[in-house]
Amino acid sequence: MWYQQQIKLAEKQRGFHLITQEIIQAIPQIALIKYGLLHLLLKHTSASLLLNENCDKSVRTDIERYFLKLVPEQYNWIHNYEGEDDMPAHIKSSILGCSLLLPISDGQLSLGIWQGIWLGEHRYHGGKRSVIATLQGELL
């Protein structure tokens, strides 16, 4: 079985946000898959997708603080057409990536107990974000 859809994520403030449930709720077809793969592609160059801690919010806060220090806004960036946070957002997206490939087992994402899907919003006003989800697998 192959299935694809676009998921519109609600606008989020800058930082890292746990979006696992938004993704799962948007693709109920996952429950039909015995084993397979879910590919997620974030269609933006100033945000990112990653897999990390799903329980303690302080991890997301610490990672945001780290990337603010690693890629400062106050720098002599040449590309600044959309504001001081624009070029740093592109760099963070390049470092972290914009896609995930996740296994499915017995109708569920097969993630580690402490793993969740994160959206890294690197702009102050990034707006709504879109993810293309492509599902492939053997039916139950």
Report pLDDT digits (tens) over 39-86: 999 999 999 999 999 999 999 999 999 999 999 999 999 998 899 999
List the one residue out of 129, 136, 119, 117 whose CA is nearest residue 24. Answer: 117
Instruction: Tell me if the domain spanning 2-139 has CATH number 2.60.120.460.
Output: yes
Instruction: Break the chain into its structural domains and give their ranges.
Output: 2-139
Report pLDDT digits (tens) over 1-47: 999 999 999 999 999 999 999 999 999 999 999 999 999 999 999 99
Report pLDDT digits (tens) over 122-133: 999 999 999 999
User: What are the backbone angles phi and psi of residue 73, rounded to the nearest 5°?
Assistant: -75, -40
Measured distance between the N- and C-terminal CA atoms of the chain, rounded to whole angstroms? 11
